[in-house]
Amino acid sequence: MAVWQFGLIVMPVAGIVRIHGRMIDVLPGDGDNAPETSFDQIELAPNYWEGIDNTQLTMLANSLLPRAPSWSDAATMYGDEKTDHIQIWDDSVHVRLDCRNVNAALLAAVVAAARDAHCCIVLCEGGRILSPLLECVTDALQASAASRFVRNPRQFLASADRLVPRG
């Protein structure tokens, strides 16, 4: 994901409740892994979509963005990896929005589709779970690292330099 993209995951509420026994505020393991952690050290996430149909979200993605070449046979991709992008997998629905030129209609459609499909929004940045309310997701987008980067790249990179340990 590019530094100027705001990432979110559409996640079924029923899947979260099935796996965790209740609705939770932060999805464990999402966004909290240290940058130096290798893929094979990261615990694989459970399939929150198991037994839940994501056809409605696939149809939405198909209507909003052009189909794109997929780097995996297991995923259907829409849009452009460097701007607005949706990845539909059997076990997840990932959305990336370009904060350099926010497509408000796309954001509103994704949030509405999540609400209609009884899903919530999981922020890729930190794993916080949000209700599918446009105001909540818009606030999170505006507070995101991607938005901070777009507003002032020099300041963002200077502050990021202080956050990343040298060694």
Inter-CA distances, 81 with 12, 106, 116, 122, Å: 24, 15, 26, 19
Report the C-alpha gap between 106 and 60 in whole angstroms: 10
In contact, 127 and 133? CB cutoff 8 Å: no
Q: 48 by DSSP, 3-state: which?
A: coil
Q: What is the pLDDT of residue 31?
A: 46
Amino acid in the structure at residue 41: Q
Which range has the top average pLDDT, 32-41, 109-118, 154-163? 109-118
More confident residue, 52 or 162: 52
Grade residue 2 by pLDDT with cuts at 50, 70 and 90: confident
For 43, other C-beta atoms within 10 Å of its C-beta total 8
**Burial grade of 121 (CB within 10 A; 0-12, 13-18, 19 or more):** buried
Report the C-alpha gap between 37 and 96 in whole angstroms: 22
Report the C-alpha gap between 40 and 57 in whole angstroms: 29
Beta bridge partners of 122: 9, 129
Residue with tokens 């076990």: 91
Grade residue 162 by pLDDT with cuts at 50, 70 and 90: low
What global pTM score does this model have? 0.83
Report the C-alpha gap between 127 and 32 in whole angstroms: 7
Model confidence over 40-80: pLDDT tens digits? 434 567 899 999 998 889 888 889 999 999 989 989 999 99
